[in-house]
Amino acid sequence: MPERMVGKQAPKFEMEAVLPNKEFGIVSLEENMKNDKWSVLFFYPMDFTSVCPTEIISLSDRYDEFEDLDAEVIGVSTDTIHTHLAWIKTNRKENGLGELNYPLAADTNHVVSREYGVLIEEEGIALRGLFIISQQGELMYSVINHNNIGRDVDETLRVLQALQTGGLCPANWKPGQATL
């Protein structure tokens, strides 16, 4: 049985990434913590696929909302930074990503995917895992689903806002509603 991660310190990570300005750089959990930022870390299977761009673009289009909540979004696959850059430079009408507002990181050695429990070992790709990590590095939320199903940006924002209330949020809680 896998070990529980929610409520514990998130595995630290540092990965090469393609930054929003299309330059190569490094992303790390420690940097986000140092900058007092929440981390929304999401894994996807691979570049140049069909479901992945729908959610990557949706998150990018709503990036300002994450930024308003002091959260940094980081996308991760096991592809290289060079493949990421080629996909970003590909027009959206041609199954590319176009401009992105957050970095895409490369977990080419599979260490981070394995530590977060999303690696499909025999294929060398990640499941669709999404993790919300507090400014102190505590893993607050984890969801992993089959690669056929894209994620809901509204739900990710709702959960982030619920976590940031610090209170008890009942079923179907929406931002602005009272906590318990």
Catalytic (active-site) positions: 52
Instruction: Map tokens 């929304």 to a residue.
Output: 40
Whether 94 and 101 have beta carbons less than 8 Å apart is answered as: no
Helix runs in the chain, H state only? 29-34, 52-61, 63-68, 81-88, 111-115, 153-165
C-alpha pair distances (Å), 172 with each of 40, 62, 156, 159, 178: 21, 21, 13, 10, 12
Residue 61 CB neighbours (<10 A): 13
Q: Residue type for 41, please?
A: L
